[in-house]
Copies of this chain bind each other. A is one copy, B any other.
Amino acid sequence: MSTLPTSRPSTPFAVVDRDRLQANIDRVARLAADRGQALRPHAKTHKCPQIAALQLEAGASGLTVATLGEAEVFADAGCTDLLIAYPVWWDADRAGRVAQLAARVRLAVGVDSVEAVQHLASLLGTAPGRPLAAPISPPTLPELVVEVDCGHHRSGCAPQDAGAVARAGVEAGFVVRGVFAFPGHSYTPTGREEVAEQEARDLAVAADSLRGAGILEPWVSGGSTPTVEHEGHGFDEVRPGVYVMGDAQQWELGTCSPADIALTVHATVVSHAGGRLVLDAGSKALGADRAGWATGFGRLLDHPEARIELLSEHHAVAVMSEGTELPPLGTEVRVVPNHACNAVNLTDELWVEVDGRLVESWPVAARGLNA
């Protein structure tokens, strides 16, 4: 599963600081435990069985994933409790795979419309009054969790409509576990506490709506890294992802400090053209993410004043503050990607650093599994 380094890899390469990673895992595990909540970290951030194992050892109740492919990887790696927090529109192939997966782990999948529930039911042969379309043995179904839009305006039904979606699930023979939301609009410099409050209110409305549909004890799941500190009362479960790594977005949002950042992409200074620092890590190593409020395309961990002002596929051009001497050509620097989840998805392996030494590499086993 892991590889000992024979020689230092050529740049760019992704590195995880194992002590920082563990500290991040432990901090959020304690937070959830102190509040009596389940913690179901989103594994899309790391896509890596070794990191998932550390999260589960620290008390996570299971994992969140975004795709069926990710779910299969983490089930193969030994995780027995998975939530696909995404309103997958199932096709015949994926419906067969989800049934097989539900037969071997505790599995729940997201839904946000009556049509999506009926479509899945039809593919799995559970639609009321219908014979099995494609008989599955054992005929195991995933549980359903209703996705609710709590203000991010991505997917998710309106809170008051969650009961109708749940009712369709029950009628089709599914166990409906509860409701979930993702407060993605918390990725802004201000107002995260208000976002978490709105999320809690909307999930409470949705949970009431499920009670009206006969789901007497709906499970309430929420969370994102920027809001997790504020998601106490009203949440049975939280699902942050990025906290395990940290990234330049979280640094700029103030939800982590540079000392918490566990993921960097090591790059080499290849040029001083124009008096700037040109590094050999571009959007194919870092990702091209840049939120409107971000100050650049990434940060340098050891030069907090620097900003990556130009990013192309294999170049990051960083501007240092006035008067700073540029690190010499050939210097290896640590770049903090804006968005850890997309940076990890660009590499096949994460090098693990302990006390400044690369000790092994971990495969990004779920890289690229979008379906």
Q: Is A284 an interface residue (CB 8 A)?
A: yes
> For the complex, what is the distance from the CA of A306 to the CA of B280, rounded to whole Å?
35
Which of A197-205, A206-214, A341-349 lies at the interface?
Answer: A341-349
SS of A interface (majority)? loop
Q: Are A66 and B155 in contact (CB under 8 A)?
A: no
Q: Is A330 an interface residue (CB 8 A)?
A: yes
Q: Is A303 an interface residue (CB 8 A)?
A: no
A153 proximity list for chain B (CB < 8 A): 273-274, 276, 310, 317
Given contacts A283-B342, A342-B313, whether A329 and B270 have CB atoms under 8 Å apart is: no
Q: Are B370 and A89 in contact (CB under 8 A)?
A: no
Checking B156, B315, B348 against A273 with a beta-carbon cut-off of 8 angstroms, the contacting residue is: B156
Checking B278, B281, B342 against A155 with a beta-carbon cut-off of 8 angstroms, the contacting residue is: B278
Q: Are B329 and A116 in contact (CB under 8 A)?
A: yes
Report the count of interface residues on A (CB-CB < 8 A): 65
> For the complex, what is the distance from the CA of A101 to the CA of B268, rounded to whole Å?
22
Which of A7-15, A55-63, A127-135, A350-358 lies at the interface?
Answer: A7-15
Q: Is A288 an interface residue (CB 8 A)?
A: yes
Chosen A-B contacts, 20 in total, with CB atoms closer than 8 Å, are: A7-B93, A67-B314, A86-B280, A86-B314, A87-B278, A88-B280, A89-B329, A89-B330, A112-B271, A112-B273, A113-B271, A119-B329, A153-B273, A154-B310, A154-B312, A155-B270, A157-B273, A283-B288, A313-B342, A347-B368
Q: Is A26 an interface residue (CB 8 A)?
A: no
Q: Are B342 and A88 in contact (CB under 8 A)?
A: no
A113 proximity list for chain B (CB < 8 A): 271-272, 329
Q: Are B10 and A342 in contact (CB under 8 A)?
A: no
> For the complex, what is the distance from the CA of A8 to the CA of B342, rounded to whole Å?
26
Given contacts A44-B313, A154-B278, A283-B289, whether A270 and B116 have CB atoms under 8 Å apart is: yes
Q: Are A314 and B271 in contact (CB under 8 A)?
A: no
Q: Are A13 and B371 in contact (CB under 8 A)?
A: yes
Q: Are A155 and B315 in contact (CB under 8 A)?
A: yes
Given contacts A116-B329, A310-B153, A317-B154, whether A11 and B270 have CB atoms under 8 Å apart is: no
Q: Is A149 an interface residue (CB 8 A)?
A: yes
Instruction: Tell me the nearest residue of chain B to A45, going by C-beta.
Output: B313
Q: Are B289 and A288 in contact (CB under 8 A)?
A: yes
Interface flags for A306-322 (1: CB within 8 Å of B; 0: not) read 00001011110100000
A87 proximity list for chain B (CB < 8 A): 270-271, 278
A8 proximity list for chain B (CB < 8 A): 91
Q: Is A171 an interface residue (CB 8 A)?
A: no
Instruction: Tell me the nearest residue of chain B to A281, going by C-beta.
Output: B370
Most buried by B among A155, A156, A274: A155
Q: Is A76 an interface residue (CB 8 A)?
A: no
Q: Are B278 and A287 in contact (CB under 8 A)?
A: no
Can you name 7 extra interface pairs (CB under 8 A) apart from A112-B271, A288-B339?
Answer: A66-B314, A154-B315, A156-B271, A184-B312, A284-B341, A288-B289, A346-B346
